[in-house]
Amino acid sequence: MAENESLVAQVVAAVLARLNDQSTQAAGGGEKLLIPVGVSARHVHLSPEDVAELFGPGYNLTPKKPLQPGQYAAEETVTLVGPKGTLTKVRVLGPPRGHTQVEVSVTDCFTLGIPPVVRASGHIAGTPGITIVGPKGARFLREGVIVALRHIHITPSEAAAWGLKDGDMVEVAVPAGDRALTFGQVLVRVSAASQLELHIDTDEANAAGLKSGDYVELKRGGERRGA
């Protein structure tokens, strides 16, 4: 059984690699760049200090599911407590990073009773705070809650093939379905340690009728240089 599962995983990886190859090779031929969608449910990134505060001194997160290269969804979850409401079983992402950051949807902000502030990851100055509760403790954050700016992860070679630069703002189209639409203001994030993927939150996914693994199209000529 385990061998079969590993074979299936290998075949899936090979097919995905070929699909990615095809979308990159198509760059010169006026073809479409098809981008796989990754829907981000609400989650938290924790600093090492906050992992210790919430889960106990010396605690290590347990990887559950790989995400972008080097990143993972952890087994651990926390509770977010806002002025108006609470969200339980909020996934922790690892590995721990420099600053604790909470990523929620606009709908989640209404539930919690905090203002929705759309920001690129890492830009938390002036954002709302929240209380995070873990099994061993709680932490009041003065700031750090963002509604993540939708973005595309792409490698330097893929970005070059498509004439994209880190920080560009582009448009992507959801060409079919009952909720076909175009997303504007999509941030391009170029990094060697990345895998081509559009990251949107659950509100955005629901608005467009998308789920993880669906594909969207980069709209040509829609690129604008970022600041």
Site of interaction with Zn ion (CB under 5 A)? 199
Task: Compute the least distance from the CB of residue 11 to Zn ion, in Å.
Answer: 26
- Residue number with CB closer to Zn ion (121 or 131): 121
- Residue number with CB closer to Zn ion (38 or 82): 38
Phi, psi at residue 93, to the nearest 5°?
-105, 145
- Residue number with CB closer to Zn ion (81 or 93): 93
Distance CA 2, CA 22 (A): 30
Q: Which H/E stretch holds residue 206?
A: helix 202-208
Spatial neighbors of 76 by CB under 8 A, at least 6 apart, are 55, 61, 62, 92, 134
- Residue number with CB closer to Zn ion (58 or 98): 98
Query: Which residue from 17, 191, 202, 203 is spatially nearest to 91, judged by alpha carbons?
Result: 202
Task: Compute the least distance from the CB of residue 101 to Zn ion, in Å.
Answer: 12
- Residue number with CB closer to Zn ion (91 or 199): 199
- Residue number with CB closer to Zn ion (73 or 81): 73
211: β partners: none
Task: Compute the least distance from the CB of residue 189 to Zn ion, in Å.
Answer: 7
Task: Compute the least distance from the CB of residue 138 to Zn ion, in Å.
Answer: 27
Distance CA 55, CA 50 (A): 8
Task: Compute the least distance from the CB of residue 151 to Zn ion, in Å.
Answer: 6
Task: Compute the least distance from the CB of residue 162 to Zn ion, in Å.
Answer: 18
Burial status of residue 222 (CB atoms within 10 A of its CB: 0-12, 13-18, 19 or more): middle
Query: Which residue from 64, 36, 53, 199 is spatially nearest to 121, judged by alpha carbons?
Result: 199
Query: Which residue from 143, 137, 67 is spatially nearest to 102, judged by alpha carbons?
Result: 143
Q: Would you say 43 and 92 are in contact if contact means Cβ atoms under 8 Å apart?
A: yes
Structure tokens, 51: 């992992």
- Residue number with CB closer to Zn ion (88 or 185): 185
Task: Compute the least distance from the CB of residue 13 to Zn ion, in Å.
Answer: 20
